Amino acid sequence: MLLRHTPEESAERAALTINPAKTCQPVGAMYAALGIHNCLPHSHGSQGCCAYHRSALTRHYKDPIMATTSSFTEGASVFGGQANLLESIQNIFTIYDPEVIAVNTTCLSEVIGDDIGQIINKAQAEGKIPAGKRVIHANTPSFKGSHVTGFANMTQAMVQYLAEHTGKPVRQFNILPGYVEPSDMAEIKRLVTELGIQAVMFPDTSEVVNAPLDGKFHMYPKGGTKVKAIRSAGDSSLTIALGRTASLGAAKLLDTKCKVPFEILDLPIGLQATDVLIDTLRKAAGVGVPETLMAERGRVVDLATDMHQYFYRKRVALAGDPDQLLSLTQFLTDLDMQVVLVVTGTPVGGKFERRIKELTGEGTVIKAGLGGDLFQFHQGVKRLRPDLLFGNTYLKYIARDEDIPLIRVGFPIYDRVGHQYFPLVGYQGALRLMEKILAALLDRQERDAKEECFELVM
């Protein structure tokens, strides 16, 4: 249903969300779990919940997402799901033989109050977990947080259950990539490799949800971070956590549990954020920046300079995940574009709003957490009349109704491909993002041009 009847006037709402700018925690937890090699995500709740989580990821990546469920019925809903989970663990290892089962909870199991840690210990004591296999879990109730929160909680679980501090330092860094696409994770690894640095990145969904088609069925694709590598993260010299919302919790836990210091950086979207990542890695490892990366950076500066007149003073509105919104805002303002509206459905603290205001000034409208939904975003778009929208597939209805071009970024993207294969992070990602922006702006300029102004050369 299109949204043409959305009013411009906005009323403050304290306990109502209309068309939320997020999805639920288990989706993010399932995505993170897929970033462990030979891991099978498990949804502790009803079959319907697991079906939705799998469907959301399958539609986004155009790849079948493997996951199992505790299949709650009325009995489990009343008396708890311990028996279901114990039987599930035994069946999963017997039939599917994963190396790791990653359990995420749902609303139902959270309301009941199932103690997943105790159930896992019971399964271990009863011999339901084979030698050398692991079961980890994250509490991910859908009635709080968002898919980013669920991703963060499952990443923390990887540290809690798998990372170990042996006292023998390893000359490597930990990279926590944040909630980004598999293409972005592959690009981050490439940048680290170009610098000649040894690192362990987790989770890592590259070569998992964007694996090539070779005519054979692979229950567990070749990608994902191996358990051995995650275990070694406790002996690394430094953790680089990308994105405060998605990665800070795991970085802090690594510091507390294994005494690995950490640095929190923005997602490396755009020139400045990528510069900070490269510079941080360079200084920490004591290496130089290779000419290949300097050339990549130079191409970003060249394109931004050549096409500056098309970016200049264009007004943009953003909706999505907080970590991506911060880096996007930084990059767009660096291009001399005006960010007039920022909306996220993920609960964030006051630091998010302060950072946005530092980058854009006091005039930007910011809505976050319970106050951030796509109904309010649409109302803001009606009032502020931006030239471009940035966000996921759900914004296409607003874009159509208001006749404003949409740049698809974030999660979910159901109606386009490319996000799983082409990165938005790093210098290569900055080039791609600028190309997408320019294509949208110039397509609109040509569509609206008078006959005498329709030029061959821009």
Work out whether the CA dihedral 373, 379, 384, 390 comes out positive or negative: positive
Q: Helix crossing, 322-334 with 271-285: angle to 10°?
A: 110
How far apart CA 328 and CA 424 sit, in angstroms, is 10
Residue 289 token pair:
């920046």
Q: How many angstroms separate the Cα of 219 from the Cα of each of 43, 99, 161, 183, 216?
A: 17, 12, 23, 21, 10
Give the integer Cα–Cα distance in Å for 380 and 48: 35
177 touches 204 (CB < 8 A): yes
Residues 6+ apart with CB under 8 A from 209: 31, 34, 57, 61, 63, 65, 182, 420
DSSP codes of every residue in 7-61: -S-----SS--SSBSS--HHHHHHHHHTTBTTEEEEEES-HHHHHHHHHHHHHHH
- Please state whether beta strands 262-265 and 238-242 pair in parallel, antiparallel, or not at all (unpaired): parallel
Phi/psi of residue 138, nearest 5 degrees:
-140, 140
The C-alpha atoms of residue 319 and residue 377 are separated, in whole angstroms, by 7
Q: How many other C-beta atoms are found inside a 10 Å radius of the C-beta of residue 105?
A: 28
| DSSP element (H, E) containing 444 | helix 426-448
Tell me the catalytic residues. Answer: 107, 111
Alpha helix stretches (DSSP H) within 96-243: 107-112, 116-125, 147-162, 182-194, 227-232
Return the structure tokens found at 142. 């859908």
The phi and psi torsions of 347 (rounded to 5 degrees) equal: -60, 125
Record the tokens describing residue 455, joined without a space: 């030029």
